[in-house]
Chain A
Amino acid sequence: MGMVASFQRVIAVFMKELVQMRRDRLTFAMMFGIPIVQLILFGYAINTDPKRLPAALLAEENTPIVRTLATALETSDYYRIILQTDDPRESSDLLARGEVAFVVSIPSGFTRGLIRGERPQILIEADASDPSASSGAIGQASSILNQALRHELTGQLAHLQSSPSPFDLVVHSKYNPEGITSYNIVPGLLGVILTMTLVMITGMAMTREAERGTMENLLAMPAAPSEVMIGKIMPYVGVGAAQTLVILIAADVLFGVPFAGSLWLLLLGVTIFVIANLAIGFTFSTVAQSQMQAMQLTFFFFLPSLLLSGFMFPFRGMPYWAQVIGEAFPLTHFLRLVRGVMLKDTSFAQLQAPLLAMTLFTAIVMTIALLRYRRTLD
């Protein structure tokens, strides 16, 4: 008797919970949306042994042997040569901007030296600001190139096949020669922390007013929407500034991360990035009906940001479609900027693309936020 009555009450609560779950569309969508996003990102997009990394070939001569080596790198699946040039300025600019992970340099006279058995040098400059991205490809470089030459060095050149290998491979890890992971992670963490806290805090702060009914009071008093928005966002700009300061000090004192570039350039980037995140948080607050929903939206934004931006896994190692999606997140561009400035001393001119991308993102999101905000008044 008592058991049955108790079970019936359990069922009553269960049914009530189902009804409420169905009403809260956003939560319902998130319960399925987040696992699906996780499955797709972890399953398809993420690759800890990145292949097809973009590379530039700086070839000062163009002989059949050089062409063979280039083809071998391409077909190895580790390298994707996006530029072949004989101008070293062009290739090193690409490396500084992070558009290529490697520059493979073959000096003039390479072929002649090879044939004479002089063991000429091949230089691979790697962007080691992300050590995990480049290590696989570097490890394979020697055997890829040797394999290719074995097919080429036949007949009277066959004697060159004997060890040691007929060329001297020099690998130059730039920007982070010792391959210290924290040099890559700590500056990136600045972006991650700013994204997580700022999007969430602004999202919740605005939603709280609506949830508690204080929004109506605020709007009945002489405060314009833009005044409310700016006033609400300002304290969090301060929070962002304090977080930046703490992380930069920690990067220096605790982790000894070098700071190669311009502090002002970094601060410019941080400012735009902070505003971008606040704008996103504000937009979420116009969509979410409760603080809970604001949290969920934040998580839904944060998760792909983290996974697809190049913070946890090498950006260039992801499939093309994942890179396209990754480009949409401000964190992706901020990581390029912060790593560029701190590790590579990248110049303002070289960082125009990420700065512009973040500005564009902010402008679009702010427009959406203001349009939505006006509508919620009515």
Chain B
Amino acid sequence: MSADLAIDVRGLVKKFGKKTAVNGVDIAMPRGQVWGFLGPNGSGKTTTIRMICGLLRATEGEGKTLGYDIRRDANEIKLRTGYMTQKFSFWTDMTIRENIEFVARLYRLEDSRLRVDETLEKLGLTDRQHQLAGDLSGGWKQRMALAAVTMHRPRLLLLDEPTAGVDPQARRDFWDEIHHLSLEGMTVLVSTHYMDEAERCDRIVYLANGQKVAEGTVPEIITRSGLVTFRGEGQGVRRLAERLKGRPGLDHVAYFGSALHVSGGNAAIIQSAIADEAAHDVEWNEVRPSLEDAFIAMMAEAGQDNRVHS
């Protein structure tokens, strides 16, 4: 195990009763990077993050987080990581300040009063510090949560779908903050469903059915998928989509905004398919496959959709 790795886990397995949520995941993540954690709902992202930060005990597998054993040293790990849960989990019946103060006390921060003031100032919530946290809007709740989990200056930040249900501007601000923290030396692992967020990550880990299906930089993953994608634009695409779906050789047919993407492993087959359905009001061009194309293809390859909706 290298000392440069913030996360170094191998063969993580987590079973809940008979159900296997995570099935043999390896992650070796260097310090100082921002990694994206992707995969459909129920693919095991949250469970993996919880095992990494010592909240859940792995059924099998071993590893270290920040050099501490995930089985034995959960407390050391908790002291040095910040974990932001998927659902807002601060106390809605406490004020913003009371929440921040409570966190500062739990981490036994020195000069906690000053640190709380600083944190509120940086957040821009000094004026509203006596409002109940429950009264904040979704975007502000996420910002407050991020401030609370980074107040003790963790070395590793684990964010579980931090921008779900947040408006685009707030999402962008949130990501600017993540990159800012990364520049300060924090290692960040963030799970997300948004492709534009995934593209802002140094590297991506893709989970499906509890297993790691792919890992790499965005271009690497796209290249490795071996996909060819054609993009159809124009009035007639809606009509075409139904007919193209399910044709042999077309891995997937999906909308991207108003355009239609048709992807597959073989350019000739796709070209002949779209030639069959040629229409005067649709214009086709070969484009570079997007990350989403690659993921949809990977999902199809991984076989049946075993996701569990919770």
Q: Measuring CB to CB, which residues of chain A are less than 8 angstroms from any residue of chain B?
A: 212-217, 219-224, 377-378
> B92-106, CB under 8 A of A: which get 1 and which 0?
100000000001001
Cβ-closest chain A residue relative to B148? A217
Chain A residues, CB < 8 A from B90: 214, 217
Residues on B with beta carbons closer than 8 Å to the beta carbon of A221: 78, 103, 106-107
Query: Which B positions have Cβ atoms within 8 angstroms of A?
Result: 53, 55-57, 75, 78-79, 83, 85, 87-92, 103, 106-107
Provide the bound-state CA to CA distance between A212 and B92, in Å: 9
Whether A214 and B89, one on each chain, are in contact in the complex, defined by CB atoms closer than 8 angstroms, is yes
**A217: B residues at CB distance < 8 A:** 85, 89-90
Prevailing SS type, chain B contact patch:
loop
Whether the pair A214, B75 counts as a contact (CB closer than 8 A) is no
Give complex CA distance A224, B76 in Å.
Answer: 12
Decide: B87 and A220 in contact? CB cutoff 8 A: no
A223-B85 in contact (CB<8A): no
Q: Using a Cβ cutoff of 8 Å, how many contacts connect chains A and B? A: 38
Q: Establish whether residues B106 and A216, one from each chain, have CB atoms under 8 Å apart when the complex forms.
A: no
CB<8 Å pairs between A and B, sample of 13: A213-B88, A213-B89, A214-B91, A216-B85, A217-B89, A220-B53, A220-B83, A220-B85, A221-B78, A222-B78, A222-B107, A224-B75, A377-B55
Contacts of B75 in A (CB 8 A): 222, 224
CA distance A212 to B94 in the complex (A): 13
**Chain A facing B: main interface SS:** helix
Candidate in B88, B89, B107 with the most chain A CB atoms within 10 angstroms = B89
Point out the residues of chain A lying under 8 angstroms from B56, CB to CB. Answer: 377-378
How long is the Cα–Cα vector from A98 to B87 in the complex, in angstroms?
Answer: 56
- Which residue of chain A lies nearest to B145 when distances are taken between CB atoms in the complex? A217
- In the complex the two chains form, is A222's CB within 8 Å of B106's CB? yes
Are the CB atoms of A216 and B57 closer together than 8 Å?
A: no
Kindly report which residue of chain B lies nearest to residue A223, judged by CB atoms: B106
Closest residue of A by beta carbon distance from B158? A220
5 tightest A-B CB contacts, nearest first: A217-B89, A220-B83, A222-B78, A213-B89, A221-B106
Nearest CB of A to B131, in Å: 18
Contacts of A222 in B (CB 8 A): 75, 78-79, 106-107
A213 with B106: CB separation less than 8 A: no
> Which residues of B sit under 8 angstroms from A214, Cβ to Cβ?
89-91
In the assembled complex, which residues on chain B have CB atoms less than 8 Å from the CB atom of A212? 89, 91-92
Chain A min CB distance to B106 (Å): 5
Q: Which of A213, A223, A224, A378 contacts B57 (CB 8 A)?
A: A378
* Distance in Å: Cβ of B82 to nearest Cβ of chain A: 9
Taking CB atoms, residues of chain B closer than 8 Å to A213 are: 85, 87-89
Q: Which residues of A contact B103 (CB under 8 A)?
A: 221
A234 to chain B, nearest CB (A): 15
Expressed in whole angstroms, the Cα–Cα distance for A91 and B87 within the complex equals 66
Alpha-carbon separation in the docked complex, A219 to B92 (Å): 17
How distant is A201 from chain B, measured CB to nearest CB, in Å? 16
Bound Cα distance from A115 to B55, whole angstroms: 85
A211 to chain B, nearest CB (A): 12
A residues in contact with B79, CB < 8 Å = 222
CB distance from A209 to the nearest CB of B (A): 9
Say how far A353's CB is from chain B's closest CB, in angstroms: 42
Question: CA separation between A267 and B87, bound complex, in Å?
Answer: 44
CA A221 to CA B79, docked complex, whole Å: 7
The residue of chain B having its C-beta at the shortest distance from the C-beta of A214 within the complex is: B89
Given A213-B87, A213-B89, A219 contacting B55 (CB threshold 8 A): yes
Q: Given known contacts A212-B92, A222-B106, what 5 new A-B pairs fall within 8 Å (CB)?
A: A214-B89, A216-B85, A221-B78, A224-B75, A377-B55
Smallest Cβ-Cβ distance to B88: which chain A residue:
A213
- Looking at the assembled complex, report how far the CB atom of B55 sits from the nearest CB atom of chain A, in whole angstroms: 6
How far does the Cβ of A212 sit from chain B's closest Cβ, in whole Å?
7
Residue in chain B with minimal CB distance to A227: B106
- Cα of A340 to Cα of B75 in the assembled complex, Å: 48
Distance in angstroms from A219 CB to nearest chain B CB is 6
In the complex, which residue of chain A has the Cβ closest to the Cβ of B57?
A378
* Nearest B-chain residue to A231, judged by Cβ: B106
Which A residues lie within 8 Å of B87 (CB)? 213
Which residue on chain B has the smallest CB distance to residue A219? B55
CB distance from B102 to the nearest CB of A (A): 9
Residue in A213, A214, A223 with the greatest tally of chain B CB atoms within 10 Å: A214
Inside 8 A of A224's CB, which chain B residues have their CB?
75
**A220 touching B107, Cβ below 8 Å:** no
Q: Across the interface, name the chain A residue whose C-beta is closest to B103.
A: A221
Residues in chain B near residue A378, CB distance under 8 A:
56-57
